[in-house]
Chain A
Amino acid sequence: MFNVDALLDSLPIMGLGMLGIFIVIGIIMGIIWILSKVFPVKQNETKESK
């Protein structure tokens, strides 16, 4: 019932998957940082939000 070979085959998927998520999320964080620098809140937007 227990399939050790399948477990070993799936481990690289686990590693690559978690690595992939952190890479994509890291890139998204970078994009958010760049967006906030390039497009800061304008004064009238702050007033509107208030």
Chain B
Amino acid sequence: MAQLFSNLLQIDWSTQWPMVIMWIIGGVLIYLAVKKNMEPTLLLPMGFGAILVNLPFSGAVTQVGAEEGPIDVLFNAGIANELFPLLLFIGIGAMIDFGPLLSNPKMMLFGAAAQFGIFFTLSLASFLGFELKDAASIAIIGAADGPTSIFVSQFFKSNYVGPIIIAAYSYMALVPIIQPAVIKLCTTKKERMIRMPYRPKSVSKTTKILFPIIITVVAGIFAPKSVALVGFLMFGNLIRECGVLNSLSESAQHELANLVTLLLGLTVSTKMQWQYFLRWETLMIMGLGLIAFIFDTAGGVIFAKVLNIFLKEKINPMVGAAGISAFPMSSRVVHKMGLAEDPQNFLLMHAAAANVSGQIASVVAGGLILTLVEI
């Protein structure tokens, strides 16, 4: 009988009590996923994982003098070498239709402008005392792109991988709350009512096939460290657009993306052990992530307002906010806001083009950070 309870008796609650806080955090993540439908594919495995790895002497993670835990095995096999985020990028690439962007390429400028939050946050995090590699990893939360956040923070071997990933996915789910507030703060009602007629242009199949190949080559030349990120994203898009690999494209969009997401969420939880997670820096990272999102949105909106000074046919500045990578939430938010101001103002296709370009620009931004920040 005593053997049954030996583990319980060995727990030193005076030092181990913080694990209870992690159970609560795990519970909150599961609640947000199930009840609020916030990024459930990731927050639910992460929430469960947070409980799993914070159990006393948990066999899920490596304990002193014991065999390597399965979560740590998965981490070393899939995240430490950046494999899982790259595989996920194949699925994301297969999901994205670059058509609206190819028919209206000037929208790409908003994708670039809306990465401002990343670089602003990098400086702010440095100012607040984070090491440059950690500041860069925190800043990339502003990419609004989970796999890029994981890739960059893992590349820099950041000490804050867990909080960074939680922040990245939480704020992506909060786009419908964060963006409208920032957009309203940066624009007037008159600006939000600017109508943008949509003149669709057809794009040839050859263009759609060559686009991902050429982008990979360009990214490889300018930011070689980003070529894995861009390349896997564009490979996914190529199998979508080539027209002869439909079953592979379907598999990438569904089975591959789902499987990797499942493992990713659970595996990331190894960085949610209370010893690594319960630090005051975690709160700072959450705050900095929010700042990155706010300045990304403001960057895109203000850039559109500046462009309007020179343009005859004005752009609705809200479209600039869709330049962040959170696809397709951001374009839906902008479209809804446009309709709320004027029921005849349909901004969806313009916003979708900016949003898709944000996906490319965020990966490029990640690559540039890898290139510019020396380890």
Contact = CB atoms under 8 A, between A and B. Distances in A.
Interface string A1-43: 1111011011101101110111111011101110110011110
B129 A10 contact: no
* Main SS class of interface, B: helix
Nearest to A21: B112
A37 B108 CA distance: 18
A25 B129 contact: no
B249 to A, nearest CB: 18
Contact of B119 (A14, A23, A46): A14
- What's the interface size class on A, roughly? 35 or more
B123 A14 contact: yes
* Main SS class of interface, A: helix
Contacts of A2: 127-129
Interface in B319-375: 357, 360-361, 364-365, 368-369, 372-373
B123 A11 contact: yes
Interface residues of B, number: 45
Nearest to A40: B204
Contacts of A6: 126-127, 129, 132, 135
A17 B129 contact: no
B123 to A, nearest CB: 4
Given A6-B132, A29-B105, A21 B115 contact: yes
Contact of B122 (A1, A14, A28): A14
Given A20-B223, A36-B203, A10 B123 contact: yes
Given A2-B127, A29-B109, A45-B202, 9 more contacts: A14-B119, A20-B368, A24-B222, A24-B368, A25-B111, A28-B105, A28-B360, A31-B218, A36-B201
6 contacts: A1-B128, A6-B126, A14-B122, A17-B119, A20-B372, A22-B112
